[in-house]
Amino acid sequence: MFILNSYATAVIFCIVTMLCWGSWANTQKLAGRHWRFELFYWDYALGVLLLSVIFGLTLGSTGTAGRSFLADLAQAERANIFSAVLGGIIFNLSNILLVAAIATAGMAVAFPVGVGLALVIGVVTSYLVKPEGNPTILLLGVGVVVLAIILDAVAYRRLGSGSSSGTRGIVLSVAAGVLMGFFYRWVAQSRAADFINPQAGMLTPYGAVFFFSLGLFLSNFLWNTLAMKFPFAGEPVPLKDYFKGSAGVHLTGILGGIIWNVGMSFSIIASGQAGFAISYGLGQGATMVAAFWGVFIWREFSGAPKGTAKLLAAMFAGYIIGLSLIIYARTAAGG
């Protein structure tokens, strides 16, 4: 299977993860012009699963290192399969809350608040599972990110003027972030520590991502069905509406899932060299990427009062500094 052999390359993969995780939601914004996010999400989940199979049968079955994809699936212990699937189930619930927050508050709020909070929780829990990197610098980087989250929330409250929809957007973002912060450790727990000679019963990155994606896809029949029957806003959405969508709208949703799972796969592959805490933390720099899309492309703060631009600039600076510290933590530890 394809593996990485250097920390520098792993950082590049994490940057790709950051770009993918920060950009996939543009497909939701595009599809949202035609139908509700609940309908978009069925295609998104399908795209996630498809990409895991494609990567498994290509990258996961290439070369002589490690264990091939199909062989990996066949030898996996139930406990590790369950762990990866559980990660997908938890992530799926959190991501549905996130897309609801995007529909309510926009990318420039849902990501910095929700995914930013997930970054903080995820880095800490991943470090506890497998301590890698200088803990003091990691903690400092996380602290700066927390400050950036607060600045973004303050900027959004200025825009929303305390409306009920504004409050709902923040609440959904926080709920998504809390859940999202815990999914990664379950995937990490299922994955072998040594990619070249993976332990028996443990999963390679490609097997772990597949079972994670399977958990996400299957749980969608529960979580998204509930979201359609009991929506966060608006009227319930009948399932028959899904079959009224055009091919272009369906492909947009599938593309969103593929983009997101390219990021997930690259993050897991990079974790072998960078460590889980750092690969996850750097990948969650997606918050900065998504905020850029929301502020400068979708212009979600165009009606904000004077002074909001300074808060947003400070938020961007906070993310850049915090993520830089998270990257440096690995080097500072002598890895």
Q: What is the pLDDT of residues 33-62, one digit of tens each?
A: 889 999 999 999 999 999 999 999 999 999
Task: Tell me how far apart the alpha carbons of residues 84 and 291 are, in angstroms, rounded to a whole number.
Answer: 29
- pLDDT by residue (tens digit) across 277-321? 778 777 877 888 888 998 898 888 887 888 899 999 999 999 889
Q: How many CB atoms lie within 10 A of CB 64?
A: 7
- pLDDT by residue (tens digit) across 120-129? 887 787 778 7
Alpha carbon distances (Å) from 169 to 106, 225, 263: 8, 21, 25
The mean pLDDT value for 160-188 works out to 82
Give the angle 40-46-52 at the CA atoms, nearest 5°.
140
- pLDDT by residue (tens digit) across 84-103? 999 999 999 999 999 999 88
Percentage of the chain with pLDDT > 90? 59
Q: How far is CA 312 from the centre of its chain?
A: 22
Handedness of CA 19, 125, 327, 213 (dihedral sign): negative
| Secondary structure of the chain in HEC code, one letter for each residue | CCCCCCHHHHHHHHHHHHHHHHHCHHHHHHHCCCCCHHHHHHHHHHHHHHHHHHHHHCHHHCCCCCCCHHHHHHHCCHHHHHHHHHHHHHHHHHHHHHHHHHHHHCHHHHHHHHHHHHHHHHHHHHHHHCCCCCHHHHHHHHHHHHHHHHHHHHHHHHHHCCCHHHHHHHHHHHHHHHHHHHHHHHHHHHECCCCCCCCCCCECHHHHHHHHHHHHHHHHHHHHHHHHHCCCCCCCCCHHHHHHCCHHHHHHHHHHHHHHHHHHHHHHHHHHHHCHHHHHHHHCCHHHHHHHHHHHHCCCCCCCCCCHHHHHHHHHHHHHHHHHHHHHHHHHCCC
Contacts of 91 (CB under 8 A, 6+ apart): 179, 180, 183, 212, 216
Task: Tell me how far apart the alpha carbons of residues 98 and 106 are, in angstroms, rounded to a whole number.
Answer: 10
pLDDT at 163: 55
Report the Cα–Cα distance between both ends of the chain, in Å, rounded. Answer: 24
Q: In this model, does residue 161 exceed pLDDT 50?
A: no
pLDDT at 166: 67
pLDDT at 335: 47
pTM, to two decimals: 0.88
Q: Which residue has the tokens 């497998």?
A: 130
- pLDDT by residue (tens digit) across 200-229? 999 999 999 999 999 999 999 999 999 999
Q: In this model, does residue 111 exceed pLDDT 50?
A: yes
Task: Tell me how far apart the alpha carbons of residues 3 and 61 are, in angstroms, rounded to a whole number.
Answer: 11
Task: Tell me how far apart the alpha carbons of residues 208 and 210 are, in angstroms, rounded to a whole number.
Answer: 5
The mean pLDDT value for 244-266 works out to 97
Lowest model confidence (mean pLDDT) among 7-11, 13-17, 72-76, 159-163: 159-163
